[in-house]
Structure formats: C-alpha cells, structure tokens
C-alpha cells in the first residue's frame, strides 16, 4: 500500500544535525583504511598462492631434498669423526698400561658400536640393515617393498650407520646414503606440501626416487655429476637429478668450509698429477692389463662373497650359532677383524688405524714410495702407519690389499647399515698402487716411447685401479666419472675409462654384479637387465625357457588319472572352457566324482575331514589317511589300486561318474566325502 503524505503538515519534533567536518574526515579515513586492508589481504592471498605453487613444484622439492641430504651427510661425517677421535683418545691413554689394554680398548669400542647397530636393526627396523642399493634397484623396477621407506627405518638407518662407520671396520656409506636420501624424498612427499601428487602418481614417484639415489651419491663424495650418468637415470629425468645433486654437493662442501674442516672448497681426495703431457699412448697397454686384472679380482671378490654368504646360511653349526642371538655373528666378525686391524699389533704394518679416506690420500700420492721426501711430515706419517722404515714397501701394500679384500667381503655380511663402494674403492686403489710400483721396477727407463714423456705415476695407477676394481664389482661405468670428481683432476680420465670398460667386460663374463648377487641372496623380486656381453640373448624366446610339463585337470579327466596325479604331484592346475568357472565348480565336479570308502573310523583326521569338506586341504594329510585307514577292508596302499581296478571308476570322467557314485553309496552307507587334491586356480 502506498500512502500519500503531505510533508508540509507533518510536525517536526526534532531535527537531525548535519555531520561536521571532523566526522567527515574520520569517515573518509575509515573508508581508506578498509580499502587498504582489502588490498593488503588480497596481496597476502596472492603471495600465499604463489608460495604454495612454488613449494609444490618439482624444483623446490628437489632443492629442499638436496639441502637436507647435504646437511645429513655432513652431520653423520662429523659424528663419525668425533667418535673416532674419542676412540683414538682412549687408545693413546691406554699406551702406558701395555699392549693388552690397548687391544681391549680398540676391540671393545668397536664391539660396542657394532652390537648397538645390530640390535637396532634386529629389534626395531630389520629393513635398515645392509646397503640399500639392491632394494632401491628393485623399487626402481616397479616392485613395492612395504616398510622399507618408513620413518622408523630412516631413524635406525641414520643411527646405525653412524655407529658402524665409527667402528674402524671396512664399511662404506654410499649405499646407506642412497637409502637415506630415498627416505627423505618419501617423507617429504608425505608430510609436507611438497609435491602432494607424487604419492598418487607411481611414474612420478619412481623419478623422484631415482633423483634421490643420485642425491645420495652426490652427498657422499660431493660429486654431483658422476652418478647421474648411470643407466637408471633417463634423459627426461636428468634435470631433476642434476638439480638435487648439485644442491646436495654445494651444501655438503660449504658446511665443511664453514666449520673450518677445510680451508676452501676442494675435492674428496684431491691429487696433484702433472697435467702438461701426462702419458704416452703406449702406456695404455699396462692400463688395459690393469683393467683386466681388476676384472678378474672383481669376479673373485663376488665369488668370495657368495661363498661366505652360503657358508653362513647353509652350514648347520653356523645357523645354530646365529639363531641363538643376533649379536653372536657380528661379535665374532668384529673380534676377528678388529684384532687384525689394531694399530698396536698387526695393523701397524698396513695402515690399520687409518680411515678409508686417509688411506686413499696416501695411495694417491704422485711420487713413488721408494722416493719419499726425507725429513717431512709425509715421511713421518708413512713410517708411522705403513712401517716403511722397517719393511719393504711391497709388504705393507700387499698386506693392505689382501686384508681389505677379504675383510670387506666378510664385513658386509653383518646385519648392520653399511655400504660397499668405499672399501672396494680403497681395495682397488691398493692394488693399483702395487701395480704402479712394480712397473717402474720392470722398466726403470720407462716404456720405449717415441716422445720423451714422463711415466704414469704410481698414484695414477692407484686412481685407475680404484675406478676399475669398483666398476667391475658394481658393474657401473659411471665410476670413471665419479673418480674424476673425487680427485678433482681429469689428467688420467682416458686411461681410467678404458680400464673401467675392460674390467667390466672381464668381470661380466664371470660373475653378476655384487648388487645383483645380494638381490638373489635376499630373493627380491627383481628382473635383471639383458646381459650386454652377447647378442645371442636377444634371440631367446619364451618357449626356450618356459616349463612345458604342466599337470592339469579338466572335466574330462578320469578318476584313474586323478589318482595317478595324486601319487606324483601335490599341485594342479584347473582348466575349464568357461572362464567364469572357478574353484567352486571344480569342487562340485570332484565331489561328484571322487569318494573314499571310510569304514568305521572316528579318528581326529576323519573328524577334521568331515568338518573341512573342501578341495583345499593339505595333500600330506590325505596321504597319511590313505596309508593309515582301510578302504573296503583293504590296506591303505591297496586303496589306490582298488580305484584303478574298478573300470567303472577308472574310465569314467568326472561328469559321468555320478551314477556309479550313487550306486556305491547305496551299497556302502559309511562312505564319506574325501578331498584328494590340492588345487590352484590359474
């Protein structure tokens, strides 16, 4: 309703005051502030959206992964360094009490650390034991391993690796670092906003794990390029691997400089070989010979590892010892190896008190050990750790190489977090150094070359031997690139890669790689790549390797054939023309066709069969009843012959035997259904 009102006749009781100038200013100020707040809020929302997009991008995830792994690598190395310093502090304090107390201190400290790591792995996270590279190769092939990349396994791996590396045993850290980096990648994708879709996309998850493997190697040696050249990193994933590896290597080296552990950013084991004209082409002949010998020794190392593993798993008295407690076998290994490595005893003749990195620094020296500079620090250290003033140089080198060879094969069988690459690398360096010291003795004036060039130094042969031996054992060509990054020099890059190729060719003809051998020992579901040594494998078809003798049952199988199969084989395949037919159809068919005369029996086995009247009972129980019970008052062995003698049962198939069964039931009221077969549906 609309009412018309005469505004002039309305009495005005009170009038409304007009707003003042001050009120108008306040109102405009409030409006400006609200507008500014809206703009500020909108800007924050935009910034937040940009940050979320950046944080969930691939490059940010990989950068954070590399930074965290570089930090973890430095932290673990620092803890290991502190523990080893404390170990040697105890050794020096016990000098005044005699050799026996020194031995007790050396062995006891190592024993405590290894047993602590073994206990963590056994009782908390068994998947944390070992290297980690065999399992990661399996994961990259598409196999799902549960409980392998969990937070609990990650914690045990980090703590156990720190304990194991501090024990002075020949154990490495490359494989565990690969495992730890894969842990970090998985946990980052689960717990944070980084790449939330990585867990849902299995293809992307594999690429992230592959990048994590490269990060693990980069954080071990500060080498961001070498591992990326491995066969597990396709070109489409190169940028991920390079970015994450570069971030990890930079953080690892910068932290080393920041905490005054290095004067500047330097390589893992820097060398100073002459770079003007380092070698003549004729020196590639001894390089090829060294590569072939490293291939043979690499195959021997893998064979020794297989024999030792077989001894542990198949020898009864060893199994009895290991089953009693998870600490017995690691304790025996530590007692044996630590006793030999003790610097106060036998270890003083082959650098028993040095770490792997310190040993490599001596082996990579660019001068011959027959001409060590006198009155120098290096001379004092050589006499202290290698006893050169008391013995010939070949004795400590030979002892060092042989002992590292078998000690490494024995140490990596313990159920503790440990790697294999660094001990193998050091073993190859010792063999190369020994080879390099022999060559000048055989050719004092050098090889007969056209140009007057210097010989390859013994340290150069040590670098080549380290790359060739580790490459043959791990079956990785990328070790030649890793060695160049570790030394910081490309002087002997060509001889190194030639030796690696030769050693791989020799070893691949004799043994699988160490990682494939561990995969076979652990029975991991891994399909190995096609062997590259022969093209004949490409002509092999499925028919050449398949098992063509398959025992099966159909609806036309006679009862006599069923009984014959039951005598020979326990597992069968059920074939039916109808794809929808399954176990239930087979059960009905056999229930109509196979009955056993069980007269006057109330044993437990009979009650079990009555209550479990199906086809899926164990055939061993069936055979037991057939041998113990009577069929139509005949012994158990004659029961099967009785079924074969009955033509009506033997020649009738499953579908047509119902009439015979019905007539048999009328004659024998005590017959009960007896399942005879254990079937698997395919």
List, in order of start, the domains of the chain with CATH numbers: 54-258 (1.10.3080.10), 281-529 (1.10.3080.10), 552-681 (no CATH)
| Residues whose CB is less than 8 angstroms from the CB of residue 75 and which lie 6 or more positions away in sequence, other chains included | none
* Residue, of 289 and 269, whose pLDDT is higher: 289
pLDDT at 5 over 60: no
pLDDT at 421 over 80: yes
Mean pLDDT (whole number) for 150-157? 91
Distance, in Å, from the CA atom of 62 to the CA atom of 224, rounded to the nearest integer, reads 13
pLDDT in tens, 606-632: 443 333 333 333 344 344 433 333 333
Other residues' Cβ atoms within 10 Å of the Cβ of residue 109: 21
pLDDT in tens, 205-240: 788 888 888 888 888 887 787 766 665 556 667 778
* Mean pLDDT computed over every residue of the chain: 75
Distance, in Å, from the CA atom of 186 to the CA atom of 257, rounded to the nearest integer, reads 30
* Residue, of 416 and 647, whose pLDDT is higher: 416
* Residue, of 299 and 16, whose pLDDT is higher: 299
The strand ranges marked E within 24-79 are none
φ, ψ of residue 149 in degrees (nearest 5): -120, 45
> Alpha-carbon torsion 239, 241, 246, 248, what sign?
positive
Kindly indicate the confidence band of residue 439, based on its pLDDT and cuts at 50, 70 and 90: confident
pLDDT in tens, 362-420: 899 888 888 777 767 777 777 777 877 777 888 888 999 999 999 999 999 999 999 89
Distance, in Å, from the CA atom of 92 to the CA atom of 326, rounded to the nearest integer, reads 32
pLDDT at 148 over 50: yes
Question: pTM of this prediction?
Answer: 0.73
């Amino acid at each position: 309703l609309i009412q018309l009102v005469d505004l002039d006749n309305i009495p005005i009781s009170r009038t409304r005051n007009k707003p003042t100038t001050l009120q108008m200013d306040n109102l405009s100020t409030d409006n400006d502030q609200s507008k500014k707040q809206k703009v500020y809020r909108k800007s924050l929302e935009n910034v937040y959206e940009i940050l979320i997009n950046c944080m969930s991008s691939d490059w940010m995830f990989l950068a954070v992964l590399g930074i965290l792994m570089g930090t973890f690598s430095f932290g673990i190395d620092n803890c290991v360094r502190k523990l080893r310093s404390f170990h040697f502090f105890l050794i020096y304090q016990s000098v005044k009490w005699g050799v026996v107390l020194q031995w007790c201190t050396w062995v006891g400290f190592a024993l405590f650390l290894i047993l602590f790591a073994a206990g963590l792995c056994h009782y908390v996270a068994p998947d944390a034991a070992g290297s980690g590279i065999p399992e990661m190769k399996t994961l990259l092939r598409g196999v799902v391993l549960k409980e392998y990349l969990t937070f609990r396994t990650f914690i045990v791996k980090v703590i156990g690796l720190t304990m194991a590396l501090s024990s002075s045993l020949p154990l490495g850290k490359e494989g565990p670092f690969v495992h730890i980096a894969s842990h970090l990648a998985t946990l980052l994708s689960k717990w944070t906003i980084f790449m939330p879709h990585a867990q849902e996309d299995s293809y992307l998850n594999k690429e992230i794990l592959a990048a994590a493997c490269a990060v693990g190697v980069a954080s071990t040696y500060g080498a961001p390029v070498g591992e990326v050249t491995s066969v597990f990193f396709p070109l489409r994933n190169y940028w991920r691997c390079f970015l994450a590896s570069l971030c990890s290597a930079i953080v690892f080296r910068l932290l080393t400089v920041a905490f005054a552990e290095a004067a500047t950013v330097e390589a893992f084991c820097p060398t100073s070989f002459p770079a003007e004209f380092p070698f003549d082409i004729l020196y590639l002949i001894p390089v090829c010979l060294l590569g072939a010998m490293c291939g043979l020794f690499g195959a021997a190392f893998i064979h020794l590892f297989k024999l030792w593993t077989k001894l542990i798993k198949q020898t009864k008295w060893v199994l009895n010892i290991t089953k009693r407690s998870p600490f017995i076998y690691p304790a025996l290994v530590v007692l044996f190896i630590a006793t030999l490595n003790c610097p106060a005893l036998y270890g003083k003749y082959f650098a028993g008190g040095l770490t792997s990195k310190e040993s490599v620094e001596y082996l990579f020296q660019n001068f011959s050990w027959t001409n060590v500079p006198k009155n120098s620090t290096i001379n004092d250290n050589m006499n202290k750790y290698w006893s050169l003033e008391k013995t010939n140089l070949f004795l400590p080198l030979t002892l060092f190489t042989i002992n590292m060879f078998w000690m490494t094969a024995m140490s990596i069988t313990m159920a503790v977090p440990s790697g294999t690459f660094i001990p193998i690398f050091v073993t190859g360096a010792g063999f190369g150094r020994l080879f390099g010291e022999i060559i000048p003795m055989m050719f004092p004036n050098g090889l007969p070359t056209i140009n007057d060039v210097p010989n390859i130094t013994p340290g150069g042969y040590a670098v080549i031997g380290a790359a060739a031996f580790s490459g043959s054992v791990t079956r990785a060509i990328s070790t030649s690139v890793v060695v160049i990054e570790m030394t910081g020099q490309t002087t002997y890059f060509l001889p190194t890669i030639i030796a690696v190729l030769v050693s791989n060719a020799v070893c691949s003809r004799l043994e699988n790689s160490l990682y494939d051998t561990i995969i076979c020992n652990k029975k991991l579901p891994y399909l190995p790549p096609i062997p590259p040594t022969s093209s004949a494998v490409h002509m092999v078809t499925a028919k050449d390797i398949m098992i063509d003798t398959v025992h099966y049952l159909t609806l036309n199988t006679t009862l006599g054939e069923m009984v014959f199969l039951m005598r020979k084989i326990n597992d069968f395949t059920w074939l039916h023309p109808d794809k929808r037919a399954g176990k239930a159809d087979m059960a009905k068919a056999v229930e109509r066709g196979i009955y056993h005369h069980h007269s006057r029996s109330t044993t437990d086995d009979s009650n079990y069969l009555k209550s479990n009247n199906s086809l899926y009972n164990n055939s061993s129980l069936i055979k037991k009843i057939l041998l113990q019970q009577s069929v139509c008052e005949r012994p158990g062995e004659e029961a099967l012959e009785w079924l074969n003698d009955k033509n009506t049962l033997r020649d009738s198939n499953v579908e047509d035997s119902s009439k015979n069964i019905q007539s048999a039931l009328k004659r024998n009221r005590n017959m009960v259904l007896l399942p005879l077969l254990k079937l698997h549906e395919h």
